A and B are shown apart, each in its own frame.
Chain A
Amino acid sequence: MKTILRFVVALSSAFAMLPATAALNVFACEPEWGALAQELAGDKVSVYFATTALQDPHRIEARPSLIARIRSTDLLICSGSELEIGWIPLLLTQSGNPKVQLGSPGYFEASQYVVKLEVPKVIDRALGDLHPGGNPHVHTDPRNIARIAQALEDRIVQIDPANAESYRSRSKSFLERWQAALARWEQQAAPLKGVPIVVYHKDFSYFINWSGMREVGSLEPKPGLPPTPAHLADLLDRMKIQPAKVIVYSPYNSPQAAEFLSSRANIPTVMMPFTVGGTDKAKDLFGLFDDTIGRLLATVK
């Protein structure tokens, strides 16, 4: 009898219920949105970070642990624009949770609230893994963070009106601090204007657009396809005519291809934080842009 009891206790602790005390369970598809939710809602939310900076958000396994989390989620925050098309739809249909289905208040796509870049004119799989709605990596432009923060604030208030006052005042404070930081970053990033850059994947397009840098090539031959020796050789030839100053990649990319090109073209590589948690300094959204700009300035100088 005692053993049975002990077994039951062990089992029930393994199946521990998810925290029900926090007002809102937030499922953040990417770390930047989890960080933003924490800025806007503080301890009124319990944020689950579904992915880390070391994962390629295009290629996530629909793991059982993710289904279990979505089951109890009140608000799902994703980039959208088909970034998560390989995993989120599956999690949603498996979760049995109507609160976060497409069209419900609990389903929030950040990219819907900003102007998207690189909306393809021609859509064909022969062109690689295209996003018909435009480039989904919208968070790399700090101005977009402010726009999305306002939309997210409204959404959180809609879902949890009881704590509206707290959300409104936190958001106001965040946006004020963000505008101040934005002014600082604009000054700091001034020397980056016009600097030619080679990217690994087209995940910095919004940052490049904001900072006025110039993208002159990408290591991927086509979006989503891994670098090939032939493409790198081709890129190297092009860089002789149109030289770049720096090669950037994300923490989830293997540095090999970037280093190969770097040693041949004699220009530095920089691992950008890309998202919150991507580097030690990118602890939150402010740190993300501080470190992104800082790392680029250090190499471009």
Chain B
Amino acid sequence: MHRKATMALAVAAALGLPHAARAQSQDELRTLREQVRQLDRRVTDAEQAAIQASNRPASESTMNPAVSVILNGIYSNLSQDPNTFRINGFAPTLGDVGPGKRGLSLGESELAIASNIDHHFRGTLIASISPEDSIGVEEGYIQTLSLSYGFTIKAGRFFSAVGYQNQIHAHAWDFTDAPLANKVFLGNQLNEDGVQLKWVAPTSLYWDVGIEGGRGRQFPAGPAGGRNKNGVSSGNVFTHIGGDFGTGIAWQTGLSYLSTSPQDRTFDDLDSTGTGTIVTNSFSGTSRLWVLDGILKWAPNYNPTYTNFKLQGEFFRRKENGNLTYDTTAASLGTQTGGFTSAQSGFYLQGVYQFVPMWRVGYRYDRLNAGTTSNGLVDSSALTAADFPILAPYNPTKHTVMVDWSPSEFSRIRLQAASDKSRSDVTDHQVFLQYIVSLGAHGAHKF
């Protein structure tokens, strides 16, 4: 500060003194001195103001991670009782695959917290708060930032890179619910506790290859929660290629192979005595799932603001081989075990078109193929097919249409109608009216 004052005086001296020297009156000199003093005060004040402006207030919260919250609520009108929901022809997954409650309900709220941890790692936690007041960890993982040559490692709980839609959070789906194929083959959505290694090739065409090992905490592995064993209980390998085409098309296609060894993976079924007794059956063996997925997005000149179109489809094929135990708790006809093999498949294809800013329409077609099943207990006549009603061959289908309105990037209101033939005997006519909003940090959506 002292230096500043000296400098101000020097400046004043250089500019003012020649006049002062000529100044005859003492008054004039006094005025000049006063002006210099005032100038000095202003310089000091300005200096202080600049220092203050450049210093942000220190606070413990300046390093807070990015926080965002997803809220959603839904009105459901279902022509069939959702408590009787089942997808015939396929072993139930014990996942949350039903159409939800009738009437008004709060959907799952999501709390996402993410930040770079240091120069090596990034951390993400996505908690889901169910309307039944329970909190679940949807994803909680760390991811490397500093590995070279296109490698990244993820560890923790994350949505498995099996197929396309499985990795997308429900709030970013184009329809209210998951495709039927994701429901029967992945229990709606597979999030695995494990490690993922991914490599991106140094090519102009996008190409990645990855491998995941996990504890098998969810369908198609089993039992629920994962096996009590060391090592890896579930493995997934995947690859994607993708690129641009013309002046507005971006595409990506992927292939993944999920291999698990379910041990005592249970499902409930109705027995054949007509008394309404529920029996618990269990499967042990191997389960192998192939998924071929493709996505194509079009926007004129890659500018999706006004109009854009999205075509998405996945084909699933699963082979299971092992033993099926009937009635593990001996509640009905007694516990019996026999060989069991199945080869089943399913697919969905959906298109979503934004025809004007903010408005989109979409259609999805779902179809599952119960394929071939060989049940040793039935083949040996120990039991009959009627003892496994849910596994009776049936090919479920579903048509879904939707229209949604997104007044900003952060809110969306959607109306969806579906004709769901998941049950072999009845068609469920479903109507959903839903809002999905996000608060807080600006999220980035995966391709």
The chain B residue sitting closest to A12, CB to CB, is B203
Query: Closest A-chain residue to B243, C-beta based?
Result: A65
Complex interface: chain B residues within 8 A of A86 (CB)? 409, 442-445
A15 engages B203 (CB within 8 Å):
yes
What CA separation (Å) do A29 and B258 show in the bound complex?
Answer: 37
A56 and B250 form a contact (CB under 8 A): no
- Docked Cα-Cα span, A52 to B300, in Å, equals 12
Measured CB to CB, the closest approach of chain B to A66, in angstroms, equals 8
Interface-lining segment among B146-154, B334-342, B428-436: B146-154
Q: Which residues of A contact B227 (CB under 8 A)?
A: none
Contact of A68 among B243, B301, B358 (CB under 8 A): B243
Residue B389, interface by CB 8 Å = no
Q: Is the CB of A90 within 8 A of B200?
A: no
Q: A96-B147, A129-B409 are in contact. Are A68 and B250 (CB under 8 A)?
A: no
Q: Which of B70-78, B92-100, B216-224, B303-311 contacts A (4 or more CB under 8 A)?
A: B303-311
Return A274 CB to nearest CB of chain B, in Å: 13
Partner of B244, one of A18, A51, A65, A97: A65
Question: How far, in whole Å, are A72 and B200 apart by their CA atoms in the complex?
Answer: 10
The stretch of A35-43, A98-106, A279-287, A291-299 in contact with B is A98-106
The answer, among B149, B306, B408, for a CB contact under 8 Å with A225, is B408
Closest Cβ–Cβ distance, residue B377 to chain A (whole Å):
46
CA distance A94 to B210 in the complex (A): 12
CB-CB under 8 A from B407, the residues of chain A are 225
How far is it, in angstroms, between the C-alpha of A82 and the C-alpha of B409 when the chains are bound? 15
- How distant is B359 from chain A, measured CB to nearest CB, in Å? 11
B301 partner residues in chain A, CB cutoff 8 A: 52, 54-55
Q: Are the C-beta atoms of B250 and A64 separated by less than 8 Å?
A: yes
Contact A67/B206 with A96-B150, A226-B357, A226-B358 known, Cβ cut-off 8 Å: yes
Give the docked Cα–Cα distance between A88 and B443 (Å). Answer: 11
Give the chain A neighbours of B229 by CB distance below 8 A: none
A210 contacts chain B at the CB level, 8 A cutoff:
no
Q: B202 near A71 (CB under 8 angstroms)? A: yes
Chain A residues in 8 Å Cβ range of B442: 82, 85-86
What mask results when residues 53 to 94 of chain A are scored 1 for a CB within 8 Å of chain B, else 0?
A: 011100111111101110110000000001001111110111
From known contacts A55-B303, A62-B445, infer whether A96 and B119 are also in contact, taking CB-CB under 8 Å: no
Say yes or no: is A254 at the interface (Cβ < 8 Å to chain B): yes
Partner of A98, one of B146, B410, B443: B146
Please provide the chain A residues from 243 to 291 with a CB less than 8 Å away from any CB of chain B in the complex. Answer: 252, 254
Is A71 touching B200 in the complex (CB atoms < 8 A)? yes
Residue in contact with B447 in the complex, picked from A62, A69, A92, CB distance below 8 Å = A62
Known: A85-B444, A225-B408. A56 touches B305 (CB 8 A): yes
Rounded to whole Å, the gap between the CB of B407 and the closest CB of chain A is 8
> When A61-B302, A89-B444 are in contact, do A69 and B242 touch as well, CB less than 8 Å?
no
Cα A56 to Cα B301 with chains together (Å): 10
Check A183 for interface membership: any CB of B closer than 8 A: no
- How far, in whole Å, are A60 and B116 apart by their CA atoms in the complex? 23
With A97-B148, A252-B303 in contact, do A64 and B444 touch (Cβ < 8 Å)? no
Contacts of B302 in A (CB 8 A): 51-52, 54-55, 60-61, 63
With beta carbons under 8 angstroms apart, the residue of B151, B410, B444 that contacts A96 is B151
The interface residues of chain A lying within 8 Å CB-to-CB of B447 are 61-64
Complex interface residues of chain A between 152 and 178 (CB less than 8 A to chain B)? none
Cα distance A128–B442 in the bound complex, in angstroms: 12
B295 to chain A, nearest CB (A): 9
Closest CB in chain B relative to A256 CB, distance in Å: 9
B207 in the interface (beta carbon within 8 A): yes
Rounded to whole angstroms, the CA-CA distance of A18 and B202 in the bound complex is 7
* Interchain nearest-CB distance for A136 vs B (Å): 13
Interface contact B203-A97, CB-CB below 8 Å: no
With a cutoff of 8 Å between Cβ atoms, the chain B residues found around residue A61 in the complex are: 250, 297, 299, 302, 304, 447
Is A16 in contact with chain B by the CB < 8 A criterion? yes
- Asked if A62 and B444 make an inter-chain contact with CB atoms under 8 angstroms apart, the answer reads yes
Q: Give, as a whole number of angstroms, the nearest-CB distance from A133 to chain B.
A: 13
Q: Are B305 and A252 in contact (CB under 8 A)?
A: yes
A78 to chain B, nearest CB (A): 14
Instruction: Check A98 against B148 for contact (C-beta < 8 Å).
Output: yes
A4 neighbours in B (Cβ, 8 Å): none
**B205 at interface (Cβ–Cβ under 8 A)?**
yes
Considering the complex, give the chain B residue whose CB is closest to the CB of A103.
B119
Indicate whether B102 reaches chain A with its CB closer than 8 angstroms.
no
CB B182 to nearest CB in A, in angstroms, measures 22
Q: How far is the CA of A98 from the CA of B118 in the complex (A)?
A: 12
The yes or no answer to B405 lying at the interface (CB within 8 A) is no
- B201 interface residue per 8 A CB criterion: yes
Indicate if B101 sits at the interface (CB-CB under 8 A). Answer: no
Produce 1/0 per residue, B295-335, CB < 8 A to A.
00101011111100000000000000000000000000000
B: which residues have CB within 8 A of A? 116, 119, 122, 143, 145-152, 198-207, 240-244, 250-252, 297, 299, 301-306, 357-358, 407-410, 439, 442-447
Q: Provide a sorted-by-A list of 12 A–B residue pairs whose CB atoms are within 8 angstroms.
A: A15-B207, A63-B242, A63-B250, A67-B206, A68-B200, A72-B202, A87-B444, A92-B145, A95-B150, A96-B150, A96-B198, A98-B146
Given contacts A71-B150, A90-B444, A96-B150, 11 further A-B contacts (CB under 8 A): A15-B201, A15-B203, A56-B305, A63-B302, A67-B200, A86-B409, A94-B152, A96-B147, A96-B200, A97-B150, A254-B306
